[in-house]
Chains A and B, each alone.
Chain A
Amino acid sequence: MSERVLMKGNEALAEAALRAGCRFFAGYPITPQTEILEYLSWRMDEVGGSYTQAESELAAVNMVFGAASGGARALTTSSGPGFSLKQEGISYLCASDLPAVIVNVMRIGSGLGDIAQGQGDYWQMTRGGGHGDYRTIVLAPNSVQENADLTYLAFDLAEKYRHPVLMASDAAIGQMIEAVELPEFKEHDIDKFDWSVKGGKVTEKYRKIQNIFYSMGPAYEDFLREKYAKMEAEEQRWESTAVEDAELVFVAFGISSRVCEEAVEGARAKGLKVGLIRPITLYPFPVKAFEEAKKVKAFMTNEMNLLAQMTDDVRLATGCKIPVYHSGSIFSISDTQELIARAEEVIRAAKGGDRT
């Protein structure tokens, strides 16, 4: 690892993509993602890759589809409204069994929304936001360091599964500057795959990138079941804090998880048994993490959305046996002291009002 340097989250993400061997980027400006595009507009040339500012997110994601077909490590990034336009390409990438990395620097609200941080795209990102029968691995960084590290990982996972991987960053992580150790450069050989299009002699088997059930037929169903089962078995990632004896466990990802971590410390100092599960993969959701919470009386998600989107996954992970509360505002990152107060309230309620 190299020396720690100060970088903006978006720029660390962009630099880490290059270091992971990404040599193709196409994108479209939208706040709060734009620094990724701006950074790569000059930096991609320096590493000998291809950068395109496309006419739309649709064009950009389909350029990525083309580059991925050719075996390249390819990236596109957007935010909110633009990320919705990427769904066409993400669905096609899944159908065609192609690796790529698509970043959503989440912002607030539906429709135009606004440029402040948000976590309202949880359902869209974890449920397969486009048409058809697919999901994708979703990585949720909570620091500038993880913006770099998880982007680096995302390309490997995309390649491992021949499947797009999504990054659920947000405006806070994208815009803030922290110290980061950047990963080492690695080379990617675009000819290393037998499936990628590259041309060939007339006697060779022709490579056709298309919806793979055309060529697979009935075997497609088992192929797909196994692909997702493998992701769910091998790729659950999370970080637990003080979960084992906790009566209340926060569940939070991204920037919200940092406030929860601080709230856990504050609550423990007051004698409250509070813990935190931080999903790093939003899909596959880290259900294994919940096995540790043996004393838990309630869970509380903290997410910057109003519809308590992640509570669905917490209920599923716990078989709907434990109450799940929601905290958080769409307008701001939660306040640590308010979270501690909520935790105290929920623990008291879970104990049937016992004030001892």
Chain B
Amino acid sequence: MKLKAPERVTFNKSGFCPGCGHGVAGRLIAEVAEEMGLADKLITTVDVACGSLHLEDWHFDTVMAAHGRTLVTAIGLKKVRKDNPVLAYYGDGAGYAIGMAETIHAGLRNDNVIAIVVNNAIYGMTGGQMAPTTLPGQKTTSSPYGKDAARFGKPFRIEDAYSGFDIGYLARGALVGAANINRAKKMIRKAFEKHMNNQGLCYVELLSPCPTNWNLAPLKAKDFLLDEMTKHFPLGEFKGGDAK
């Protein structure tokens, strides 16, 4: 297996915790952009939380947006810089809680941007609180006895919310294990390809472990993701994909 580090990420400095998927996601995006010859044109927007650490390790022009507004910031940017690929990068809290209106309406309008949404089922940067994606029974710092789905709802699934919308691409991958990571990279690549064809919103949700806030060692966190998270968040392509 040949390993070539992308030029667009630095390996000197990273703020991510050991075992976190953000570093992998950032690298996959850089690899795809370089392989497609788009790295010189790509502009990214990042949210305020863990994902914003890519400001330090990505060598792309990047805008740090307000929490939950990363997607609409990218949309505004794309409308004035039509020749640049524009990618919004944020987490499940940004996309499915505070930025839900923006998520829904970007789908409704089928805005022409790439959205890469890292789902770790909790709020990471603030220390592991319950999110709309938190699994039933999952303990977090704001659901210490486990999430009561009857009170707070079932985990939010983007494929359900977008089911009636004709968006360019919708897929979910996972950032654990070589096979899943390779598959996730293919999804990201497909999102870029469709974006470059102006096919509208190209959306990839990536399940990521958060060993720090899940209070699990990295390997246990990987198991939790594959054994528990995927029960609620099936992997695969939902819109605009090839045959499964």
Q: Which residues of A contact B (CB under 8 A)?
A: 23-24, 26, 50, 52, 54-56, 58-59, 62-72, 74, 88-89, 92, 96, 190, 197-202, 206-211
Of A67, A92, A202, which is within 8 A of B76 by CB? Answer: A67
B55 and A208: CB pair below 8 A? yes
CB nearest neighbor in B for A191: B81
Minimum Cβ distance to chain A for residue B209 (Å): 27
CB nearest neighbor in B for A202: B7
CB nearest neighbor in B for A196: B61
CA A96 – CA B55 in complex, angstroms? 14
CA A53 – CA B70 in complex, angstroms? 18
CA A68 – CA B79 in complex, angstroms? 11
Question: How many inter-chain contacts with C-beta < 8 Å in the A-B complex?
Answer: 130
Minimum Cβ distance to chain B for residue A159 (Å): 15
The 4 closest A-B pairs by CB, nearest first: A66-B76, A63-B76, A62-B69, A197-B61
A59 and B105: CB pair below 8 A? yes
CA A112 – CA B66 in complex, angstroms? 26
A199 and B72: CB pair below 8 A? no
Minimum Cβ distance to chain A for residue B113 (Å): 10
A211 and B64: CB pair below 8 A? yes
User: What residues of A have a CB within 8 angstroms of the CB of B81 in the complex?
Assistant: 70-71, 190, 197-198
CA A206 – CA B62 in complex, angstroms? 8
B73 and A52: CB pair below 8 A? no
15 sampled A-B residue pairs with Cβ under 8 A: A55-B102, A55-B104, A63-B72, A65-B63, A65-B65, A66-B65, A66-B73, A66-B76, A67-B80, A88-B69, A197-B62, A199-B42, A199-B61, A202-B59, A206-B62
Main secondary structure of the interface of B (DSSP, over half): mixed
Q: A54-B72, A69-B76, A199-B42 are in contact. List 19 more A-B contacts (CB 8 A).
A: A24-B76, A52-B76, A52-B79, A55-B102, A58-B102, A62-B65, A63-B73, A65-B73, A65-B76, A66-B45, A66-B75, A74-B80, A190-B81, A197-B43, A197-B63, A198-B84, A201-B40, A209-B62, A211-B64
Which of B63, B64, B69, B84: most chain A Cβ within 10 A?
B63
Interface string of B34-48 (1 = CB under 8 A from A): 000001111101000
Chain B interface residue count, CB cutoff 8 Å, equals 35
User: What residues of B have a CB within 8 angstroms of the CB of A88 in the complex?
Assistant: 66, 69
Minimum Cβ distance to chain A for residue B111 (Å): 9
Minimum Cβ distance to chain B for residue A278 (Å): 35
Does B101 sit within 8 A of A, measured CB to CB? yes
User: What residues of B have a CB within 8 angstroms of the CB of A198 in the complex?
Assistant: 43, 61, 81, 84
Of A24, A68, A89, which is within 8 A of B66 by CB? Answer: A89
CA A68 – CA B81 in complex, angstroms? 11
User: What residues of B have a CB within 8 angstroms of the CB of A211 in the complex?
Assistant: 64
Q: Which residues of B contact A (CB under 8 A)?
A: 7-8, 39-43, 45, 52, 55, 58-66, 69, 72-81, 84, 101-102, 104-105
Known: A24-B79, A207-B61. A55 touches B73 (CB 8 A): no
User: What residues of B have a CB within 8 angstroms of the CB of A52 in the complex?
Assistant: 75-76, 79
Of A24, A55, A64, A202, which is within 8 A of B101 by CB? Answer: A55
User: What residues of A have a CB within 8 angstroms of the CB of B84 in the complex?
Assistant: 70, 198-199
Of A54, A67, A96, which is within 8 A of B77 by CB? Answer: A67
CB nearest neighbor in A for B70: A62
CA A122 – CA B55 in complex, angstroms? 37
Which of B40, B59, B69, B80: most chain A Cβ within 10 A?
B80
B43 and A55: CB pair below 8 A? no
User: What residues of B have a CB within 8 angstroms of the CB of A197 in the complex?
Assistant: 43, 61-63, 77, 81
Of B42, B59, B80, which is within 8 A of A70 by CB? Answer: B80
B76 and A199: CB pair below 8 A? no
User: What residues of B have a CB within 8 angstroms of the CB of A24 in the complex?
Assistant: 76, 79-80
CB nearest neighbor in B for A58: B69
CA A65 – CA B1 in complex, angstroms? 43
CB nearest neighbor in A for B67: A88
A74 and B61: CB pair below 8 A? no
B62 and A62: CB pair below 8 A? no
B72 and A66: CB pair below 8 A? yes
User: What residues of B have a CB within 8 angstroms of the CB of A64 in the complex?
Assistant: 76
User: What residues of B have a CB within 8 angstroms of the CB of A26 in the complex?
Assistant: 76
User: What residues of A have a CB within 8 angstroms of the CB of B43 in the complex?
Assistant: 70, 197-199
A62 and B66: CB pair below 8 A? yes
Minimum Cβ distance to chain B for residue A249 (Å): 42
B39 and A202: CB pair below 8 A? yes
Which of A23, A67, A70, A206: most chain B Cβ within 10 A?
A70
B8 and A202: CB pair below 8 A? yes
CA A342 – CA B43 in complex, angstroms? 60
